[in-house]
Amino acid sequence: MTLTRRALFATLALAAGAAHAQTWPSKPIRVIVPFAAGSTTDIIARAIADKVGAGLGQTVVVDNRAGASGTIGQQAVATAPPDGYTILIHSSSHTVSPSTFAKLPFDTVADFAGVTPISSLPNALVIAPSKNIKSLQELLAAARAKPGSVNFASAGQGSATHLNAEKFKLAAKIEATNIPFKGSAEAVTEVLSGRVDYYFSPIAPVIGQIRDGQLLALAVGSPKRAAALPDVPTTAEAGVPGSEFNFWIGMMVPAKTPRE
């Protein structure tokens, strides 16, 4: 994943296009991230906030509202004044929420207006080397030898990382238990420690640990191999077709926010 200069300035232009008066912005802009600091969404939001703030000459504050698989942050934006001063930067989890919660205090379609897609992120199934599992097939063999003995981390119940892992589990025909955390950073920490078996992580936040040998990438979940990990097979190549999954991150504002 790379945030190019062109993408950043496109985001800046679209954000500015939402201004409803020439005086905008006359006060700090709040960017709500519904996940913990250090998560993939948070890292991207902070990069954008720095550039947008500099371009507009106004403070852009990143406000982490983690919890409940992103719905706490979503609700904060859904109920915010539609004045261009509250922005949501969210992930694929936004569209998953209605399917994973029996009732939500907001409508993921009616209560939000899309501003722009930001990035599409390939992901990797990562595991600690201490597990002594060297390939995806070895992981599947371990899961099938003792059904229910394997677990995986997610960035929250109903999060995109949870959905990714569940799709993989169904395609692979294995049993594995979801261990939800408040965000990607916590999930990665637990996998590094060996307390949780594996995690489908966006590649960007774990590429350092993979290159340093702290984590082993068994497969990437995208349809094609990732440029950052050219030697790592896709899940389909490793024997689990139909498990492909890409994360996306996008920018939204409260519904009825003026576009001009």
Q: Which CATH number goes with the domain that contains 43? A: 3.40.190.150
At a CB cut-off of 8 Å and minimum separation 6, what does 137 contact? 238, 239
pLDDT at 98: 85
Contact 48, 118 (CB under 8 A): yes
Region at 177 (left for phi over 0; alpha for psi -120 to 50; beta for the rest): beta
How deeply is 173 buried, as exposed, middle or buried, from its count of CB atoms within 10 A (0-12, 13-18, 19+)? exposed
Is residue 94 domain-shared with residue 13, that is, in the same domain? yes
Is residue 111 domain-shared with residue 178, that is, in the same domain? no
Is residue 175 domain-shared with residue 96, that is, in the same domain? no
Is residue 129 domain-shared with residue 101, that is, in the same domain? no
Is residue 49 domain-shared with residue 81, that is, in the same domain? yes
Contact 185, 38 (CB under 8 A): yes
pLDDT at 21: 52
In a domain, 259, yes or no: no
Cα gap 80→103, rounded to integer Å: 20
Cα gap 101→69, rounded to integer Å: 10
In a domain, 131, yes or no: yes
Q: Residue 239 gets which letter from DSSP?
A: T
Enclosing H/E stretch for 117 = strand 112-121
In a domain, 260, yes or no: no
Give the predicted TM-score (pTM) of the model.
Answer: 0.78
pLDDT at 1: 47
Phi, psi of 185 (to 5 degrees): -60, -45
Phi, psi of 123 (to 5 degrees): -130, 165
In a domain, 172, yes or no: yes
Nearest to 55 by CA among 89, 88, 19, 91: 19
Q: What is the CATH number of the domain that holds 177?
A: 3.40.190.10
**Tens-digit pLDDT string for the chain (260 aa):** 445 444 555 555 555 555 455 688 899 999 999 988 888 889 899 999 998 898 889 999 999 998 887 899 999 999 999 999 999 999 888 887 887 788 999 999 999 999 989 988 889 999 999 999 999 999 999 999 999 999 999 988 888 899 899 999 999 999 999 999 888 889 999 999 999 999 999 998 899 999 999 999 999 999 999 999 999 999 999 999 999 988 889 999 999 998 76
Query: What type of residue is 19?
Result: A
Give how many domains the chain has, as a whole number: 2
Contact 194, 127 (CB under 8 A): no
Is residue 179 domain-shared with residue 132, that is, in the same domain? yes
- What domain range is 58 assigned to? 5-121+248-254
Is residue 225 domain-shared with residue 242, that is, in the same domain? yes
Is residue 161 domain-shared with residue 101, that is, in the same domain? no
Is residue 113 domain-shared with residue 174, that is, in the same domain? no
Alpha helices by DSSP H, listed for the chain, are: 5-17, 40-56, 71-78, 93-100, 136-145, 160-172, 184-193, 207-211
pLDDT at 194: 97
The reply to whether omega before 122 is within 30° of 0 (cis) is no
Contact 203, 122 (CB under 8 A): yes
Is residue 128 domain-shared with residue 240, that is, in the same domain? yes
Is residue 72 domain-shared with residue 26, that is, in the same domain? yes
Contact 66, 73 (CB under 8 A): yes
Cα gap 119→91, rounded to integer Å: 9
Is residue 106 domain-shared with residue 130, that is, in the same domain? no
